Amino acid sequence: MQENLATLIRNTAARVRARDFAWAVGISAGVGVAIFVAGLGDWRLVTLAWISFLALLAIRYRLASGAVWATPVQRIVETELSAQEAELANLRMARDVAEALPEPLFILDAAGVVEHANPAAEKLVGAKEITGRHFAAVLRTPNVYEAAETVLATNDPVTVEFTMMGAVERSCRAYVAPIESGAELGSGRRQRALVFIRDLTSERRVEQMRADFIASASHELRTPLASVVGFIETLRGPAKDDPEAREKFLSIMQSQAERMQRLVSDLMSLSRIELNEHVPPKDIVDLGDVAQDVIESLSPLFEQAGAIVDYIKDTDDATKIVGDHDEIFQAIQNLLDNAVKYGGDPAMIKLRVGRGAAPPLTDNGDPGHRAGDAAAQVAARTGGRVEDLIYVQIRDFGPGIERADLPRLTERFYRVNIERSLKSGGTGLGLAIVKHIVNRHQGGFQIESRLAGGTAFNCYFLVAARNT
């Protein structure tokens, strides 16, 4: 490129010299004619002087080569190009650094239009090619855009915290700072705003998890602990020498201790899922295969309870989703365990895996009372089609659930029948765990029930092809 540039400059200089020579010929000829017309000299003398002038001028141009003419210009151009190359290298390095950052970063121009957004920023807003769009339309959080406007107006950095709503609530902090480039401000310098966002969801969840765990544990463990302490006092006192009472109380104490163990295990599991709920899984799992694995692992429980489980795959297509195998396994296991406990005596259970919308409770399509996310709502929220969803449905044929209870079933420790739940060993956390697992997978969870007609629990997930 340097050789081409040098040749271009020499050729340009040659054309300039040729044009200057032509002007000199014309002007000197005009001067000679004027001298002759004015009678100030003989035409022969004037012609001789003009020819001598042109000869000397030609010799001057010949001695001063094009390279001599082009060298100063070339030096100036090369200096400018070197400066531009250095600036471009710095810009490329800055862009590479921005691209590699795991945290979202936006660069806005003076009008609030996005000039650059790194991949983490695109992932945050769930959109591609956001460059050229107004920041207020990209990140729909007014307080962050107002902070950017303030920074552009005052040239002072601003920090603001905000919450992003969605299937999973996310807590974030935005650092907005001015950046400038070019000449002095007011004579060509372009002012921009840098918006750097840090996800504080994990920190907030740890704080909330600690508070919830303490509150839940202190509330739910109080009764069994009091019971165990009471029985210990009785065994050390009035029933000290009563073998029959000792066996009875020890059996009750073991039952209460097992209940506390299950409760702590479920609380820890729920806390762990909530902590990572805002981080989508990345593995590929087959929902149909996981469902079959759960049925096989719970077969001793089904035999003991006399439950009958019928597995149906409603599609010949692949049922692969982007998900966490262990969490999907746990969700299906919780739903099957729930169906065994509350699905009748003995329980009749249907586990179905398919694509699209899960079948309703009745064959005529008449739905029961519903709570949660329908297939159409999940598809609309994820920007896809109902046909792109894969469902797992666990249905029992038990007494059903009252309509007023349906929306509260996924709350912590909510029980429709407290006495039956405690008798069956339930902790009141099973459906809450399922709900949070489905949320982490960016899916939907729906409960449908009819009194005396059974209950269906539907979990919707996006087909893997849409996530990869």
> In this predicted model, what pLDDT tens digit does every residue of 113-126 receive, in sequence order?
888 888 888 888 87
Check whether 1 has a pLDDT greater than 80.
Answer: no
> How far apart, in whole angstroms, are the C-alpha atoms of residue 299 and residue 372?
29
> How far apart, in whole angstroms, are the C-alpha atoms of residue 38 and residue 107?
73
Mean pLDDT of 327-346: 89
Cis previous bond, 300, omega within 30: no
Mean pLDDT of 251-278: 79
Check whether 335 has a pLDDT greater than 90.
Answer: yes
User: Phi and psi (nearest 5°) for 393?
Assistant: -120, 130
Q: How deeply is 385 buried, as exposed, middle or buried, from its count of CB atoms within 10 A (0-12, 13-18, 19+)?
A: middle
Mean pLDDT of 298-303: 89
pLDDT computed for residue 467 by the predictor: 42
pLDDT computed for residue 294 by the predictor: 93
Check whether 187 has a pLDDT greater than 50.
Answer: no
> How far apart, in whole angstroms, are the C-alpha atoms of residue 71 and residue 146?
53
Report the chain's mean pLDDT, rounded to a whole number: 80
What is the fold, at CATH topology level, of the domain defined by 101-199?
Beta-Lactamase (3.30.450)
CATH of domain 201-279: 1.10.287.130
pLDDT computed for residue 117 by the predictor: 87
> How far apart, in whole angstroms, are the C-alpha atoms of residue 98 and residue 52?
68
pLDDT computed for residue 317 by the predictor: 86
Parallel/antiparallel/unpaired status of strands 348-355 and 308-313: parallel
> How far apart, in whole angstroms, are the C-alpha atoms of residue 338 and residue 347?
10
> How far apart, in whole angstroms, are the C-alpha atoms of residue 162 and residue 284?
32
pLDDT computed for residue 445 by the predictor: 94
CA atoms within 13 A on the CB side of 382: 24
Residues 231-234: contacts with CB within 8 Å, 24+ apart? Answer: none
DSSP conformational letter for 461: E
- Whether 164 and 172 have beta carbons less than 8 Å apart is answered as yes
CA atoms within 13 A on the CB side of 393: 28
Percent pLDDT > 90 in the chain is: 17
Smallest CA-to-CA distance from 379 within 293, 442, 455 is with 442
> Which range, 34-48, 128-142, 180-194, 418-432, has the best average confidence (pLDDT)?
128-142
More confident residue, 119 or 214: 119
> How far apart, in whole angstroms, are the C-alpha atoms of residue 406 and residue 372?
9
Smallest CA-to-CA distance from 195 within 277, 101, 89 is with 101
Check whether 3 has a pLDDT greater than 60.
Answer: no
> Which range, 77-91, 156-170, 219-233, 409-423, has the best average confidence (pLDDT)?
156-170
Check whether 364 has a pLDDT greater than 70.
Answer: no
Per-residue tokens: 331: 């969700």
pTM (predicted TM-score): 0.57
> How far apart, in whole angstroms, are the C-alpha atoms of residue 182 and residue 189?
5
> How far apart, in whole angstroms, are the C-alpha atoms of residue 460 and residue 169?
19
> Which range, 7-16, 242-251, 325-334, 457-466, has the best average confidence (pLDDT)?
325-334
Per-residue tokens: 29: 């000829």
Check whether 273 has a pLDDT greater than 90.
Answer: no
CATH of domain 280-466: 3.30.565.10
